[in-house]
Amino acid sequence: MLDVAKTIFTYAGIPGAVIAILSTIIKFGPLTFLTSTNLEKKLYSKEKKVAHVMLNGLVQIMLYTSIMLFLTYFIEAEYNETLGYVWVIVVIFIHLWVLWNVEIRGKKLLFTGKYRTVNIIVFLFLLFFFVPSSIAMPAYLVGIKNYSRLVSDLDKLGTFIALSIGYAFFSLLCMSMFKAVFNYIDLKSINPNYINEGPLYIWLETEKWYIHRATDKNRILLGNSSTLKDSSKYKFIDRSVILGSTIYTEKDTVEEAPEYRI
């Protein structure tokens, strides 16, 4: 299947470097890679962890950039400077409010699982207004405002490249904002298949050992504390030992958490 895809890409005139990158991504199994749990990530090698971060970032940048380009080329709208300023202020204000809740107050919207009406309204507002607005805003402020001028200064291909580079930069900003927003929304708390991100550990004989990271393809570093800096004993074991053991996680008790009030 991969050879067939390479043949098609080559016939279409796609550069060899792009084909090599796509081949590497396909070999990793992108869907499984991007949806891996905290437990699976703990057993990744350092190279695979770096690849996971890069692939995740690349997919997001390509997705957001594509949406911005689509809005620029296929949505007809007149630029309104006042609307642009208000749009920027509202998005920045909401982002700062989310950061204040997450970083300073340490609150999460759905953490307790008690879905009061106001929580649902805030959830829907963030998911269906803030997130789409953050993606559409660069297309409106940059593309729709400057498209005619860019076309007059550059040819169509140059305009496309310039917009793509600019939107890729804005995609990085969107990734930062969305990370805070989804951390605040905390959809993981209502996902029945989610594995808690707390420390993972196994029992070896009568001792409790925490799983920290893979040091190479087949060796895992363990410590007798949930953090490496607080550990007084360390152990390197084969991956097969981990896979053959029962793995435990330290979970916070959701019922004991205070109810969140906005």
Q: How does pLDDT run across 239-259, given as a tens digit for each residue?
A: 888 888 888 887 644 333 333
Q: Output 128 or 151, whichever has higher pLDDT.
A: 128
**Binning pLDDT at 50, 70 and 90, where does residue 11 land?**
very low
Sketch the domain layout of the chain as residue ranges.
76-190, 200-256
Residues making up the chain, counted from first to last = 262
pLDDT in tens, 81-100: 888 889 889 999 999 999 99
Is residue 72 within 8 Å of 139, Cβ to Cβ? yes
Give the tens place of pLDDT for each residue, 153-195: 666 777 788 888 888 999 999 998 998 888 888 776 666 556 6
Q: Does pLDDT of 45 surpass 50? A: yes
Over 80: is that where the pLDDT of 32 sits? no
Q: Which helix (H) or strand (E) holds 202?
A: strand 200-204
Q: What is the DSSP letter of 229?
A: T
pTM above 0.85, yes or no: no
pLDDT at 2: 46
Task: Mean pLDDT check: name the lowest of 5-19, 51-65, 90-104, 243-257.
Answer: 5-19
Question: Which 3 state secondary structure label does DSSP give 200?
Answer: strand
Contact 116, 261 (CB under 8 A): no
**How far lies 16's CA from each of 25, 58, 164, 189, in Å?**
14, 18, 21, 43
Tokens describing residue 153: 């200064």
Burial of 195 (0-12, 13-18, 19+ CB in 10 A): middle
